[in-house]
Amino acid sequence: MMKYLRRLGRHIKEGFIGVKRHFAMAFSSASAITITLLLVGAFAAFAANLALLTQEIEQSISLVALVDYGVNDQASINSINSQIQNIENVETVEFRTKDEEFDFYNQNYPEMVEFSELYREDNPFHDAFIIYLKDGIVLEETKNKIASIPGISSVEDGGANTYTLINILHAVRNVGGIIILALVALAIYLIYNTIKITIAARKDEIWIMRNVGARNGYIRAPFLVEGIIIGIIGALVPIALIVFGYYKLYEYSSGNIAGIINLIPVMPFVLYLGLALLLIGVIVGFIGSYISVCRYLRVTR
């Protein structure tokens, strides 16, 4: 155990020495990571807040379940309410009597009040359940489950435009994730190329290590440590800028932009974002180093 710890300590020490000795190359790699992670962090903050906005819009989409005219006792209403709430995708359920539905119609169409009041005594509206969902993508499936409940006359979902809106919102979230992955891949490619140059410049050092019997794993380890160190260094500036910038944006806008977009509260969001950028920096540095050193060792074997 102590043998492996000493070896690990030696590799870490050699990694730091390598970064110091080849500072220009390390700085070039760290700069590439800094620029890319700055884009990743800024876009991740934007995408997270956009996802929150789309989720809020989705949760505002509701289904209206109309109750059969023959269902007018409280026990039956409670039973239907319970069955709706037990459906997995249902967030909240609101019940309105047919008189409340009549008043709701008048509030939304005040120009029709004089005409509609003629039907007050013979109220044509149904008792209704207003149902808000957790996830709009399964709107149709949820609608069908509610429609199958005994005592439900029909379920209104807003028509084709509602489904189009939900698909657009999900597409927006998916595109955001794809762009972030593309930026991370770009960071790996950049560090791979810069570290490949570093390794090529140290071919004599690698050749000597090979000649004295060093295994590929032993040769590879310091370069992997260097990659991790470079990844951490490259992540520090983006973390500082993104955290400070988001804090100032939230403070300046009081957590809301244009009265429409509610920003995610600063804490713990920036903490998670900072840790994510640091982790990405470490992973990018490790993978970039691993790919380049493995390819070089394979070629020169």
Tens-digit pLDDT profile for residues 78-134? 888 888 888 888 888 888 887 777 777 666 666 666 656 665 667 777 788 888 887
Q: Closest Cα partner for 230 from 195, 178, 189?
A: 195
Q: Of how many residues is the chain composed? A: 301
How confident is the prediction for the chain on average, in pLDDT? 76
Q: What is the pLDDT of residue 119?
A: 58
Q: pLDDT category, 142, cuts 50, 70, 90?
A: confident
CATH topology of domain 59-159: Alpha-Beta Plaits (3.30.70)
pLDDT in tens, 163-198: 677 777 777 777 777 887 887 777 777 767 766 666
Tokens of 112: 């029709």
Q: What is the pLDDT of residue 116?
A: 62
Strands 152-156 and 62-67: antiparallel
pLDDT at position 269 is 85
* Predicted pLDDT of residue 13: 58
Do 11 and 226 meet the contact criterion of CB atoms below 8 Å apart? no
Residue 245 pLDDT grade (very low, low, confident, very high; cuts 50, 70, 90):
confident
Task: Determine the pLDDT at residue 170.
Answer: 75
Question: What percent of the chain is helix, strand and coil (3-state, nearest 5)?
Answer: 75, 10, 15
How much of the chain exceeds pLDDT 70, in percent?
70
Q: What pLDDT, on the 0 to 100 scale, is given for residue 301?
A: 52
Angle made by CA atoms 54, 58, 60, in degrees to the nearest 5? 120
Q: Are 67 and 129 in contact (CB under 8 A)?
A: yes
pLDDT level of residue 264 (50, 70, 90 thresholds): confident
Based on its alpha-carbon atoms, the radius of gyration of the chain, rounded to whole angstroms, reads 30
**How large is the average pLDDT for residues 226-252?**
85
Q: What is the mean pLDDT of residues 264-290?
A: 84
What is the per-residue pLDDT across 19-55, written as a single tens digit (0 to 9) for each? 666 666 677 777 777 888 888 888 888 878 877 777 7
- CATH 3.30.70.3040 maps onto the chain at 59-159
Q: Quick check: 7 pLDDT over 60?
A: no
